[in-house]
Amino acid sequence: MNRKYRKTVIAGNWKMNKTPTETKEFMTAFKAMLPKGRWCDIALCVPAVCIPAAVRAMRETRVGIGAENCNANASGAYTGEIATNMLVDAGCKYVIIGHSERRAMGETDADVNAKVLAALEAGLIPILCCGESLEQRELGITEEFITMQIKCALAGVDEARIRKVVIAYEPIWAFGTGRTATPEQAEDVCESIRSVIRKLYGSKIARATSILYGGSMNEKNAYDLLAQPDIDGGLIGGASLVPEKFLQIVEAANQPTA
Ligand code: PEP
C-alpha cells in the first residue's frame, strides 16, 4: 500500500450468498464493530436484492455498498438485467465488473469495456477485475494476458475518468480454492498492472490508481499481502461473509506504510 498517493480499499464480494434478512444481520453486527476515525475505504458488493437492506443499514457510515454486476445499456428489453442508473438510484457507490465468474458465464472483454464505460457515465466506481488462469500462469503468459485484459477494459476511458477506476487483480487459480498467491506473486502482477496504467495514462495517474488483490485473502494472510507496495487493498469473497473476519482485514489495511 502507499496511502500517500492512493486510496486503500477493502471490498467484499458476497457473490450469491445471504438473503436480505441475513444482510441486515451482518450490517448491524459489522456497523457495531467499525472502528472510529478514518481508515481505509470499505465497500461491500452484495446480491442485487440485498442492496436496499445494505444501503439502509450503512447510511451515515463510511461503508459504500456496491453491486456485483451491471448491464451496459441504459434501459430496454434485457430481462433480468440491472442498469447502472438503477444501481445509483438504489444507493450503490461501487460495481464489480469483469469478475472471472461472470467471464466464465460468457462475458467478453468488449462487454467488460462497455460496462466500465456505463458505470463511469453513471457515476459509479467500477471495481475492474482481471486475472489469469492456472494454465496461462504455467505457460508464462500472465503479464501479456493481463495487459490485454486491462487495455481492452479501459478502451475509451479518458484521463478524467480513469481516476475513478479501482482495479482488482484476481488470479483465477487462487480464489475460492484456499490457494493464495504469495505476496511476491501478487505484488509482481500488481506492479505490472501499474506499469500498464503508466504507459496508457502517465506516471501521475499510475501512482494514484488503487490496485487490489483478490484470491483467498483472509484475516491471516491480509497483513503480508497488504504490506506490498503495489497492493492497495483487497477484493474478498469468503472472508467478507463473516463480520469479524472482514473487520480483521480492514484492520490489516491500517498498518503503517512506507
Ligand atoms: C472473489 O471471488 O472475488 C474472491 C476473491 O473470492 P475468495 O476471497 O473467496 O477467494
Domains in the chain: ranges and CATH = 9-253 (3.20.20.70)
Q: SS3 of 217, please?
A: coil
pLDDT interval class at 4 (50, 70, 90): confident
Ligand 1, residue 234: give the atom nearest the CA.
Answer: 5
pLDDT of the residue at 256: 73
Please give the mean pLDDT across all residues of the chain: 95
Is the CB–ligand 1 distance for residue 215 below 6 Å?
A: yes
154 DSSP assignment: T
Is the CB–ligand 1 distance for residue 98 below 6 Å?
A: no
pLDDT at residue 180 tops 90: no
**For residues 175 and 156, which has the higher predicted lDDT (pLDDT)?**
156
Which residue carries 502507499 as its cell?
2
Question: ∠ CA 232-64-215 to the nearest 5 degrees?
Answer: 40
**For residues 244 and 179, which has the higher predicted lDDT (pLDDT)?**
244
Mutation probe of ligand 1 site: the residue of 9, 173, 236, 240 with most atoms within 8 A of C-beta: 236
Mean pLDDT of 251-258: 81
User: H or E stretch including 44?
Assistant: strand 41-45
Show which residues are catalytic: 99, 170
pLDDT of the residue at 44: 98
